[in-house]
Amino acid sequence: MTITTRHTYLTRILHGLLAVAIIVQLGSSLGMSPAEDGHAGNTLFGAHEVAGLASFALVLAFWIWAMLRRVGTPLGVLFPWLSAARLSALWGDSLHHLKMLGRLRMPEHQDDGPLAGAIHGLGLSLVTVMAATGTFYYFSGAESPEAAGLPMLIHVTLGNLVWVYLLGHAAMGLLAHLATGFDLRSMWSLAARVRRN
């Protein structure tokens, strides 16, 4: 059976690499000890820094590709906040999802669905802020996360939201795969053929 997808190879590769980088970041954060009080950070902190710089590069590449690509989710679907028509569609789609979930049913997957698109946009924004603040800390020369001030306060505070987003994103993708016509291989298989509308 041939799998078709609306996601280009580059979108799938960047998505996969970014997912791996985020998992490494979250995993390393559980046992890392940052450099502070004259002590060097531990190995996990070093891994966190290197993966963080890679994450920042991947996020930048993802943003650039999202603005240049001709196939895939338009930026307006990811960020509907300044369009009355897109906000109206988001509200309607949110109500539809609540109604279906109230019946204990999973709504059918739709390409460029307003709710899914907005959630993806929020996730991309969250990861962008995390990568940017971490990169700022790396190049700031601060002796400790506390010494870096507001950027690291934001970084640490938003860390738990990244956990929620990652687990929720994976769980919803798996549920959609099991309960609707959505096929996870459309995002994760490099063998899938790109469907051009």
Query: Cα separation of 1 and 94, whole Å?
Result: 33
Query: Cα separation of 66 and 63, whole Å?
Result: 5
DSSP code, position 180: S
CA-closest candidate to residue 131, choices 195, 73, 50, 194: 50
CB neighbours (10 Å) of residue 141? 8
- Name the token pair of 88: 């109206």
Percent helix / strand / coil, the chain, rounded to 5:
70, 5, 30
Tens-level pLDDT at each residue, the chain (197 residues): 577 777 888 999 999 999 999 999 999 999 988 877 777 778 998 899 999 999 999 999 999 999 998 888 889 999 999 999 999 999 999 999 999 989 988 888 887 889 999 999 999 999 999 999 999 999 988 887 888 889 999 999 999 999 999 999 999 889 888 888 888 888 888 777 887 65
For the segment 67-96, what is each residue's pLDDT rounded down to a tens digit?
A: 998 888 889 999 999 999 999 999 999 999
Q: Which structural domains are found in the chain, ordered by start?
A: 4-194 (1.20.950.20)
The residue assigned the tokens 């390409």 is 111
For the segment 104-123, what is each residue's pLDDT rounded down to a tens digit?
A: 888 888 878 899 999 999 99
Percent of the chain predicted with pLDDT > 90: 57
DSSP code, position 146: G
Query: Cα separation of 178 and 160, whole Å?
Result: 27
Query: Cα separation of 121 and 76, whole Å?
Result: 9
- The CA–CA distances, whole Å, from 188 to 7, 59, 94, 96, 151 equal 10, 18, 26, 27, 33
**Alpha carbon 90 to its chain's center:** 19
**Alpha carbon 189 to its chain's center:** 18
